[in-house]
C-alpha cells in the first residue's frame, strides 16, 4: 500500500512540475515564435513578388514596397509594380498544402509560386516544393486554367509538367491552384 501511494505521489508531483515547466516555456517563447512566423510570411511574399531584401531589412523592405489589401476574409499583397500575391491552402494527396503565389499586373500570368508547407511523399509528391519544379510556373497563363501535363509533354502557355510517379499530388496542386487563382482573380477584378 505504501509503495502504491509513493508511486501516485511521484507521478502527480512529476506531472505538476512538467506542466508548470511547459506552460512557462510556452509563455516565454510565444512572442518569439509569432515574430518568426511573421518574418517567414513576409520574406515569402517578398520572394514571390521578386523583391530583394536581406535578413536585417525584411520588415523595412516589406513596409516600403508592399501594400496590404483586405477584401472580405482575403488578404492581398501588392507590390509597387502592381503585381499581387496571396496565400493558398488546401488538401494535397497526403496532407495540407500551403503556399503563396504572385500574379503579374496583367492578371493572367503567374509571376512566382512558393510552397511554404506540404506533407506529400518525400522524393515524389514532395517535389512540388522544390525550386526547380516551381520555376516552370513562371509566366504561365492561368486563365482559363492551368493544366498539368505528363512530364515533358507541356507545350501550351498554360501547361506545366506534372511530377512523374506523383499523379495524386500533381492533381491536388493543380486543383488547388486553379480554384485559388480563379476565386482571387474574381475578387481582384470585381
Extents of the domains making up the chain = 66-189
Average pLDDT for residues 109-113, to the nearest whole number? 95
Query: What CA–CA distance (Å, rounded) separates 29 from 22?
Result: 11
Per the structure block, which three cell numbers stand in for 81?
A: 509594380
Chain segment 135-157, per-residue pLDDT in tens: 999 999 998 899 999 888 888 99
With H, G, I as helix, E, B as strand and everything else as coil, classify residue 32.
helix
Q: pLDDT confidence of 1, banded at 50, 70, 90?
A: confident
Chain segment 66-90, per-residue pLDDT in tens: 999 988 788 999 999 999 999 999 9
- The Cβ-side half-sphere exposure at 19, using a 13 Å CA radius, reads 6
The per-residue pLDDT for 14 is 93
Per the structure block, which three cell numbers stand in for 102?
A: 504572385
Query: What CA–CA distance (Å, rounded) separates 67 from 28?
Result: 32
Give the Å distances, CA to CA, from 37 to 2, 62, 104.
Answer: 50, 15, 26
Higher pLDDT, 60 or 1: 60
Amino acid at each position: 500500500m505504501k509503495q502504491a501511494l509513493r508511486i501516485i505521489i511521484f507521478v502527480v508531483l512529476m506531472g505538476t512540475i512538467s506542466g508548470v515547466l511547459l506552460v512557462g516555456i510556452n509563455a516565454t517563447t510565444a512572442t518569439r515564435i509569432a515574430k518568426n512566423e511573421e518574418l517567414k510570411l513576409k520574406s515569402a511574399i517578398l520572394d514571390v513578388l521578386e523583391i530583394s531584401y536581406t535578413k536585417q531589412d525584411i520588415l523595412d523592405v516589406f513596409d516600403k514596397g508592399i501594400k496590404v489589401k483586405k477584401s472580405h476574409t482575403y488578404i492581398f499583397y501588392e507590390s509597387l509594380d502592381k503585381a499581387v500575391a496571396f496565400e493558398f491552402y488546401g488538401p494535397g494527396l497526403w496532407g495540407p498544402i500551403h503556399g503563396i503565389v504572385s500574379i503579374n499586373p496583367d492578371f493572367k500570368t503567374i509571376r512566382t509560386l512558393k510552397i511554404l508547407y506540404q506533407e506529400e511523399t518525400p522524393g515524389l509528391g514532395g517535389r512540388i516544393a522544390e525550386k526547380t519544379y516551381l520555376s516552370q510556373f513562371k509566366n504561365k497563363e492561368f486563365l482559363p486554367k492551368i493544366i498539368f501535363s505528363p512530364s515533358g509533354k507541356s507545350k501550351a502557355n498554360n501547361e506545366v509538367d506534372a511530377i512523374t510517379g506523383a499523379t495524386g499530388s500533381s492533381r491536388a496542386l493543380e486543383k488547388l491552384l486553379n480554384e485559388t487563382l480563379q476565386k482571387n482573380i474574381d475578387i481582384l477584378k470585381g
